[in-house]
Amino acid sequence: MKIIKRDGHMVDYCPEKIELAIQKANKEVDEDDQASSTQIKNIIKYIEGLGKKRILVEDIQDIIEMKLMSIGKYALAKKYITYRYTRELVRKSNTTDLAIKELIDGESEYWNTENSNKNAKVVTTQRDYLAGITSTDITRRFLLPEDIVQAHDDGIIHFHDADYFAQNALHNCDLINLEDMLQNGTNINGVMIEKPHRFLTAMTIATQLITAVNSSQYGGCTITLTHLAPFVKDSYNFYLNKYKSRKLEKKLCEQYAKEDLKKEIVDGVQTFQYQINSMTTTNGQAPFLSVCMYLGETEEYKEELAMIIEEVLKQRILGMKNEQGVYITPAFPKLLYVLEEDNIKKGSKYYYLTELAAECTAKRMVPDYISEKIMKQLKIDKNGDGQCYPCMGCRSFLTPYVDENGKPKYYGRFNQGVVTINLVDVALSSDKDMDTFWSIMEERLELCHRALQMRHKRLSKATSDVAPILWQYGALARLKKGESIHELLHHGYSTISLGYAGLYECVKYMTGHSHTDNGIGKEFGLKVMQKLNDKCKEWKEAEDIDYSVYGTPIEATTYKFAKALRERFGVIKGITDRDYITNSYHVPVFEEIDAFTKLKLESEFQKLSPGGAISYVETSNLANNIDAVLEVIKFIYDNIMYAELNTKLDYCQACGYSGEILIDDDLEWYCPNCGNRDHNKLNVARRTCGYIGSNFWNKGRTQEIKERIIHLDNKDAEA
């Protein structure tokens, strides 16, 4: 007989443990109330006589209590119940205490690799993690139903960001309405921030607003440079008037004003870049920020916007200096470049910006690319118009929305949170029976639905007072003091995400084919994705909440899911024999496929992931082959809504090597030039979940990075 523990592990049945537990309770009661050795053996004999191959540990405890009461040992049964409850408290408390001890000791692999953008040894990060451990403990014991907690522990689902769930005011990610705050004024910590009159001032204030907003949420956020473009014109007019007051000729006034403006744009962008990377939010990290560069957002300030975009790209190409003064790839902000008719074709007005973007991608892994053409085909508002707008953070996309005036609205909107279904577990639990698969899928989706409802209900308790920068001063709304945010959670204003992971392994197990096969594999994969969308539509119609399918960026969770699957189902070749599972709908990293075929194929699945998705191609170092990058960019424009190129340009501080830092068979990073393995002396940047990570990764993610095949090799591109 096997015993199923609370965490899902199965262990051998051990009757001595039952006898020991009852004997401990015996010592707490009078002799007349104690169970004799014969009575204890009869209880054990009864349990063994049930003939079960597997039994839950909780069921055994229930049987012991029932049997003790049936033989009149009520006092003993009461003590046993108390002992059981006390052990449960100790178990849960010890879990929390152990997590805290491992964190502060600084030797835990889990904490040191939990987030590739956080350094767990830094006190500000530790403070966030300590608060998170407490929040997770409260969430598990008081705020979530036991079956959801159990499913999370078993890797059946993942309840994201439980470390922030105890605070009912925190949401996931958003598009910051920087225009409202800059044009109409705002407030930080009780200090009024009035409308700036210069570009440099606007850029400085923007970094402060971004940090304040990012400290009031737990996900990524996005701003658009379009909201800063009007201040470029303000600065130009300031300089122009200055020189006019000196009675200079008109041409000289304009010449000098342009020269001064150019310097201010350089200074403003530099200020922005330095502050974003040097500031620390209450989450113990730099703001998780994406910056949108979309010329189509404005006609009035398009030239000013182009000037900002150009400078942002130039400075990112240069990079930022590390401690040794060497330029390396910074993680933030992530850049989002929108491809459109004015910048995609050679000879078009803004093609020079796309060439700069391509160089930047080759050298610094950003920007990522949004196709205006494809997005407008996929994102249709209720007026029947196609819309184009950036993602929130790294990949979370809002649904199309039209305000009460009939105008599209995106900035100032947000996502409520995410719960992810492990598709691999659904497949393995079905034992390849299709009817069983869809039955389990239905059950698991309803489990996710209830977990998402818990997120929604907790957030719905918040009022505008909990985060004034968000709800009262323009970042997301202009509500009155004390006003509920409830309305902003409905009618399509915000989204809530049903995440999914492991589509490849799910399809492979059920059909024997990859979802990249143009046959049964692909057909089944698309059917699974459609099922997720159908459920979101069903929930949305019933509750007026915008549920949306989201390709989860499982960074640490990919390792957790892989371990849980192996523990539950053992090692299954090609399915559970790695320390990671595949992110969202992606082609598995080890599958041979070229860049263009991959993007074309994934575009079909990206359509069915409207709440969030990003595709990528892995390349060799293309720093000297910008034409190859441009070819991929043009392909993205014509074929897929949102994609990125993962290039490689690392640095070894020990020998000065600049190139790709490698991973050996023991999953250790090393410099191929000098053999240096000291993480403190290696600057490595890799894309792991949409954002660039630079603090190294857990075992599962490191294995995934090592096994990535190159979709576009420099030699192939040249050929």
Annotated active-site positions, please?
172-173, 392, 394, 396, 415, 550, 555, 690
H or E segment to which residue 452 belongs: helix 434-459
Kindly state the DSSP code that residue 121 receives in the 8-state scheme.
Answer: T
Q: Omega of the bond prior to 230 within 30 degrees of 0, cis?
A: no
Measured distance CA(20)–CA(321) in Å, rounded:
62
Q: In sequence order, what E strands does 133-233 have? A: 157-159, 173-175, 186-188, 191-193, 221-224
Angle 392-334-717 (CA atoms, 0-180°, nearest 5)? Answer: 115
Measured distance CA(434)–CA(273) in Å, rounded:
52
Pairing of strands 642-646, 191-193: unpaired
- Look-up of token digits 């105008």: 407
Measured distance CA(27)–CA(67) in Å, rounded:
18
Question: Phi then psi for 705, rounded to 5 degrees?
Answer: -65, -45
For residue 146, give the nearest of 82, 55, 58, 80 by alpha carbon: 58
- Given a contact cutoff of 8 angstroms between Cβ atoms, the answer to whether 515 and 585 are in contact is yes
Measured distance CA(560)–CA(280) in Å, rounded:
28
Which three-class secondary structure state does DSSP give residue 506?
helix
**518, exposed or middle or buried, with CB in 10 Å at 0-12, 13-18, 19+?**
exposed
Q: Omega of the bond prior to 367 within 30 degrees of 0, cis?
A: yes
Kindly state the DSSP code that residue 54 receives in the 8-state scheme.
Answer: E
Bridge partners, residue 420, by sequence: 158, 499
Angle 5-9-12 (CA atoms, 0-180°, nearest 5)? Answer: 75
Measured distance CA(624)–CA(249) in Å, rounded:
45
- Look-up of token digits 């990290």: 285
Measured distance CA(116)–CA(122) in Å, rounded:
14
Measured distance CA(293)–CA(162) in Å, rounded:
33
Question: Phi then psi for 173, rounded to 5 degrees?
Answer: -145, 170
Tokens found for residue 328: 């390396």
Pairing of strands 658-659, 650-652: antiparallel
Q: Is 268 left (phi over 0), alpha (psi -120 to 50) or beta?
A: alpha
